[in-house]
């Protein structure tokens, strides 16, 4: 059985996103907080606001946009951001299993 | 019928006994006050406002009077109440007219959730509404008064009301509140401007109110399309700098200046983001009013 990490916006529609050039502003109806997000974070929400995506697909997408010296830096940075946004309730990270 | 068409003694009588009912933009306001400075304030500054018919709904029942007979004579004080609720501590009696204006601001800001209420001045020229959000001291009221004295339409100097339904800015034109040096600045800039009695030693210093132009009061039911969102900052001696502000940053700055953003929830977010999308956004640093007037007039052409 293989597992894939899936990333998506919460299904309840409580997250609203507005995109402006390389930044986005996100409103969380649960916390009533407004977040200004730039850089890699803005790209993450740009992608997942259209459809859910696996972690590896997201990493490949981000790699094509952001050129950094050490590739592992980008991967770590993206994972840290995913964790942070999940803690804030802005996105859902889940494990999907397929036989 | 306009307030100015009523005999002075009848106005005073209404204020003392039954309440004076005025239409102020989208709001019907009943004012009860036996205080002479309040009646004088209304006579000088609210002459162009319509009297509300007796059977019409009143949005805000307000009272400005002494807390007790003792406080009318011993260290005289004044209270503001709205539907029997006292939102503020009493102030010195001499500040009654300023307290009425602050109290009405409080009523509108806290009970008008059909609008996104922004702490901002808003004026209009050539069909374009210019919104100036800012904290006290940013110079928004001075700028607003200067623009209005130069023919711009006043929608509000303090509370910008953006409909959550259609995104338009709805006027509530009222006297423009000037503080300290700004009073003399506007007197010098526009000697014809009618400024009511100056109230000294308030928490904000000396306060004077500029009478809104007749045309602005006449157009108080006509909304305007938002066009420019400008965050002013008065800096003594600075050059006039109008710098483009990114929409994402403007959105966050605007949220900080809203009174009821959290109450409106996602409707507030949608309203703020639509407003930002529909407007060009700027930071403005200025010290010269004349330069700024020219710049903003060019921007509105």
Domain residue limits, chain A:
2-94
Q: What is the pLDDT of residue A98?
A: 62
Complex-level ipTM: 0.89
Residues 6+ apart with CB under 8 A from B268: B116, B164, B258, B260, B261, B262
CB-based contact A18 B249, cutoff 8 Å: no
| Phi, psi (rounded to 5 degrees) for B203 | -60, -25
Residue B298 half-sphere exposure, CB side, CA atoms within 13 Å? Answer: 7
Nearest CB neighbour to A27, from listed B249, B266, B277: B266
> Residues B33-64: pLDDT tens digits?
999 999 999 999 999 999 999 899 999 999 99
A29 Cβ under 8 Å from any chain B Cβ: yes
Query: How close B262 comes to chain A (CA, Å)?
Result: 6
| Residue segments in chain B with a per-residue pLDDT below the cut of 70 | 71-72
Domain residue limits, chain B:
3-110, 115-300
**DSSP for B275-293, written as a single string:** HHHHSEEEEEEES-HHHHH
> Residues A17-29: pLDDT tens digits?
999 999 999 999 9
Nearest CB neighbour to A25, from listed B252, B265, B266: B252
Nearest CB neighbour to B248, from listed A16, A32, A36: A36
> Residues B116-125: pLDDT tens digits?
999 999 999 9
Query: B162-176 burial, b for 16+ CB within 10 Å, e for fewer?
Result: bebeebbbbbbbbbb
**In whole angstroms, what is the distance from residue B132 CA to residue B229 CA?**
6
Name the token pair of A64: 């094509």
Query: How close B253 comes to chain A (CA, Å)?
Result: 11
B-chain residues near A20 (CB < 8 A): 246-248, 251
Q: What is the pLDDT of residue B74?
A: 73
Average pLDDT, chain A: 90
CB-based contact A20 B262, cutoff 8 Å: no
Query: How close B149 comes to chain A (CA, Å)?
Result: 36
B255 Cβ under 8 Å from any chain A Cβ: yes
Nearest CB neighbour to A25, from listed B248, B262, B265: B248
B249 Cβ under 8 Å from any chain A Cβ: yes
Q: How many contacts (CB atoms, under 8 Å) link A and B?
A: 35
CB-based contact A25 B251, cutoff 8 Å: yes
**In whole angstroms, what is the distance from residue A51 CA to residue B292 CA?**
47
- pLDDT at residue A97 is higher than 80: no
Q: What is the pLDDT of residue A73?
A: 84
CATH code of the region A2-94: 3.90.930.60
Q: What is the pLDDT of residue A99?
A: 47
Query: How close B258 comes to chain A (CA, Å)?
Result: 13
């Amino acid at each position: 059985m293989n597992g894939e990490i899936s990333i998506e916006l919460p299904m309840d529609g409580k997250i609203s996103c507005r995109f402006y050039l390389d930044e986005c502003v996100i409103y969380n109806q649960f916390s009533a907080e407004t977040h200004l997000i730039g850089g890699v974070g803005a790209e993450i929400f740009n992608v997942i606001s259209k459809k859910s995506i696996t972690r590896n697909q997201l990493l490949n997408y981000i790699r094509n946009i952001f050129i950094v010296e050490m590739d592992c830096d980008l991967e770590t940075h993206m994972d840290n951001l995913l964790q942070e946004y999940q803690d804030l309730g802005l996105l859902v990270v889940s494990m999907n299993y397929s036989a | 019928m306009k307030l100015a068409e009523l005999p002075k003694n009848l106005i005073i009588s209404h204020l003392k006994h039954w309440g004076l009912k005025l239409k102020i933009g989208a709001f019907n306001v009943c004012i009860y006050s036996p205080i002479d400075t309040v009646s004088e304030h209304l006579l000088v500054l609210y002459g162009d406002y319509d009297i509300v018919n007796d059977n019409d709904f009143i949005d805000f029942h307000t009272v400005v009077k002494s807390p007790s007979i003792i406080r009318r004579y011993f260290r005289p004080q004044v209270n503001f109440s709205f539907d029997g609720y006292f939102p503020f501590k009493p102030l010195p009696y001499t500040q009654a007219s300023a307290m009425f204006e602050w109290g009405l601001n409080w009523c509108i800001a806290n009970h008008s959730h059909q609008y996104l209420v922004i702490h901002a001045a808003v004026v209009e020229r050539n069909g374009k509404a210019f919104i100036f959000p800012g904290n006290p001291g940013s110079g928004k009221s001075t700028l607003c008064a200067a623009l209005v004295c130069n023919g711009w339409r006043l929608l509000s100097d303090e509370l910008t009301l953006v409909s959550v339904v259609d995104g338009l800015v709805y006027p509530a034109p009222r006297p423009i509140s000037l503080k300290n040096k700004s009073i003399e600045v506007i007197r010098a800039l526009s000697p014809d401007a009618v400024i009511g009695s100056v109230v000294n030693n308030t928490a904000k210093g000396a306060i004077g109110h500029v009478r809104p132009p007749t045309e602005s009061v006449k157009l108080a039911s006509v909304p305007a399309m938002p066009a420019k969102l400008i965050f002013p900052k008065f800096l003594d001696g600075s050059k006039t700098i109008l710098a483009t502000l990114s929409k994402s940053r403007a959105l966050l700055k605007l949220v900080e200046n809203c009174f009821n953003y959290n109450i409106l929830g996602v409707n507030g977010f949608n309203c703020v983001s639509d407003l930002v999308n529909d407007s060009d956004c700027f930071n403005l640093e200025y010290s010269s009013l004349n330069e700024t007037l020219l710049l903003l007039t060019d921007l509105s052409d």
